[in-house]
Structure 1
Amino acid sequence: MKKIALIIIIGFSMFSCDYILKKDTPEDTSTEDPKKVVLGIDKDENGCVGSAGYSWSVLLQKCIRPFEEGLRLNPIVTPKVVGDTIEQIEAEETVFSAFAVFGEDQDKVEIYLPSTKGSMILERDSKDKIYKKGDWTLETSKPILLKQGGTILYRGAESIDKKEIGDDNVEN
C-alpha cells in the first residue's frame, strides 16, 4: 500500500509541475510580436507604402520605386558651362537625386523631385527630345538635362567607364 501511495504522490507531483510550467508560457509561441512589427502602416491614398520607397506613378498608374524604374538625375550643385560641356563641382553636403520615369509611348515623362511630394508630368514638344511643363524642361539629348527657367538643376547620371587593368589569360 505504501508503494501505491508513493506512486500516486510522485505522479501528482509531476502533473502539477507540468501544469505550473505550462501556465506561465504563452500559447502562441511565434517569435513575432504583432504589436511591434507592423508593415504597410504608412500607405498613401493609392496604397503605396512610402517607407518602402514606393510612390504612385500617375503616368504608369501603379505603385513604383522611382529609383528602380526611373532614370537617375544627379543635382548640379554649381553648374559651370565650358564650351559644349557642363562641369559639376561636387558638394560637401548630402545631395538628393531626382528621377525621370518615361511613359510607354515616350510622349510623357514623370519627374520625381526630392524636395516635393508626388511628381510632375512633362510632355514631349513635337518630335524632338525636349519635354516641357511650365518653366521646367527635360532635354534628353546627351547629356540629359533637367532645367527650371533655363537654369540647369539636374544632369542624367552616367555610368563610370571601366578601365581594363589586365587580362584573364594565364601565361605559361
Structure 2
Amino acid sequence: MKKISTLLLVLLFACSCKYVDQKEEIDETQNATASRDSSVVNDKDENGCLASAGYVWSKVNKECVKGFSGIQLNPIDKPDNEDETLSAYVLFNEDASQAEIFLPKDTTSVVLTRKAEGKPWVLNDWQLVPWKGYVLKKGTENKFSGDGEIGKKILDSDTEQE
C-alpha cells in the first residue's frame, strides 16, 4: 500500500509540473501575440495623436488634428499642385491671432503670431501674408500660396472635394 501511494504521489507531482509548464508556454505565446498586435495599433505620438490616421498635434488648438484639414497652400512653382504631400497647411486659433503652419515633409509645425488684424502673422523670417487668400514667405521669397478656402480643390470645378 505504501508503494502504491508513493507511486500515485509521484505521478500526481509529475502531471502537475507538466500542466504548469504548458500553462507557462500558453501565457508566453499569448503575451508575445498581444505585444506584436499592440505595436501595430499603438502608433500614437507623445500627445496621443494617431499618426497612422494622419493626425498631428496642433499647438494652437491644443488637440489632435489632421494637418491637411486646414487651408491648403501650394508651392509657388506648382500653383495647380495635386500632390497634397508637397503643400503646406494653415490652421488658426480661435481669435486668429496665431497661425500654425504644417510644412511638407516636416513633423513639427511653426506657429506665427500677428499683432493686429490685417497685419501678417510672423515668426523670425517666416511670414503669412493675407493677400488674395494667403502667401507664405520665408525671408523675401514667396514659398506657398492659396485661395484661403479650407479643403482640397478639384481642378476645373467650383466645389471642394470632401
In structure 2, the residue matched to 1:114 is 104
Gaps of 5+ in 2: 1-32
- Could you tell me whether the CA contact under 8 Å between 1:144 and 1:156 is conserved in 2? yes
| Pair 1:125 & 2:115 matched | yes
Change (3 A) 1:103 1:94: closer
Aligned to 1:13: none
Q: Return 94-103 or 132-141, whichever deviates more.
A: 94-103
- The CA distance in 1 between the partners of 2:38 and 2:46, in whole Å, is 22
Per the TM alignment, residue 116 of structure 1 is displaced from its structure 2 partner at its CA by 1.8
Matched, 1:75 2:75: yes
Q: 1:37 to 1:44 in 2, by over 3 A?
A: closer
Code of the aligned partner of 1:115? K
In the alignment, the residues of structure 2 paired with residue 94 and residue 60 of structure 1 have an alpha-carbon distance, to the nearest angstrom, of 22
CA distance in 2, matches of 1:148, 1:66: 20
Cα distance in 1, alignment partners of residues 59 and 121 from structure 2:
16
Structure 1 distance, partners of 2:112, 2:141, is 17
RMSD, matched Cα = 2.8
| Contact kept in structure 1, 2:85 and 2:105, CA below 8 Å | no
Post-superposition Cα deviations, 1:72-100, rounded to whole Å, max 9, x if no partner, equal: 1111227xxxxxxxxx5x68x99611100
Aligned counterpart, 2:8 = none
Of 77, 81, 92, the residue aligned with 1:102 is 92
> Percent same amino acid among aligned pairs?
36
1:147 matched to which residue of 2? Answer: 137
After superposition, what is the alpha-carbon deviation per residue over 1:37-89, rounded to whole angstroms, capped at 9, x for unaligned?
Answer: 86542211100111110000110001000212x101111227xxxxxxxxx5x
Residue 115 of structure 1 and its aligned partner are, at CA, apart by 2.6
* Structure with the larger helix share: 2
Deviations 1:101-127 (A, max 9, x none): 011001111000013221111011322
Mapped contact 2:76–2:145 kept (Cα < 8 A): yes
Q: Does 2:48 align with 1:43?
A: no
Name the TM-score, length of structure 1 as normaliser: 0.59
Partner of 1:54: 55
Q: Which amino acid aligns with 2:60?
A: L
Cα distance in 1 for residues equivalent to 2:144 and 2:99: 15
Question: Secondary structure at the residue paired with 2:95?
Answer: coil
Shift of 1:150: 1.3
| Cα distance in 2 for residues equivalent to 1:94 and 1:127 | 29
Which amino acid is the alignment partner of residue 117 of structure 1?
Answer: T
Count of residues in correspondence between the two structures: 119
Decide which structure has the larger Cα Rg and report it: 1
